[in-house]
Amino acid sequence: MKNNLYIIWHENNNLGISIIDEQHRGIISTINSLYHFIQSGQGEEIIKPTLIMLLQYTTIHFSTEEALMKEAGYPAVAKHIIMHKALLEKTRKLSIEANRDQDSDAVLSFLKDWWLGHITKEDKKYAPFLNALLE
């Protein structure tokens, strides 16, 4: 078996907002679990339920983020919500198409690129607003 983790969480990925950081780690953990099952040859059985679970958890996470951004008066909240909706739609489509000639490596790559990119670029933009609110 290859490396157990597909995404290594680094402390510099933290935003300093405990609930958001915890949720981000939970999402990354779910992606790593999917990777583990794919590597062990059980990807076909687990990909659809994992994507559904990820979709549900992501919905909760985005609700948390969006409520905090609104409360903090983050000026780009509308743009951020549009990005959230796009990710939810893409994840929803992936879960519907799961097990239909779907390349599990492509699914993993999408999830990794989107999540790490979103956390390290987009979420870092609102972090100062939320940190000021929560101080």
| Tens digit of each residue's pLDDT (9 = 90 or more) over 87-100 | 999 988 888 887 67
Q: How confident is the model at residue 73 (pLDDT cuts 50, 70, 90)?
A: very high
Give the domains, in start order, of the chain with CATH numbers.
16-134 (1.20.120.50)
**Reduced DSSP (H G I as helix, E B as strand, rest coil) percent helix, strand, coil of the chain, to 5:** 80, 0, 20
| Tens digit of each residue's pLDDT (9 = 90 or more) over 102-120 | 678 888 999 999 898 889 9
| Tens digit of each residue's pLDDT (9 = 90 or more) over 120-133 | 999 999 999 888 88
pLDDT of residue 3: 65
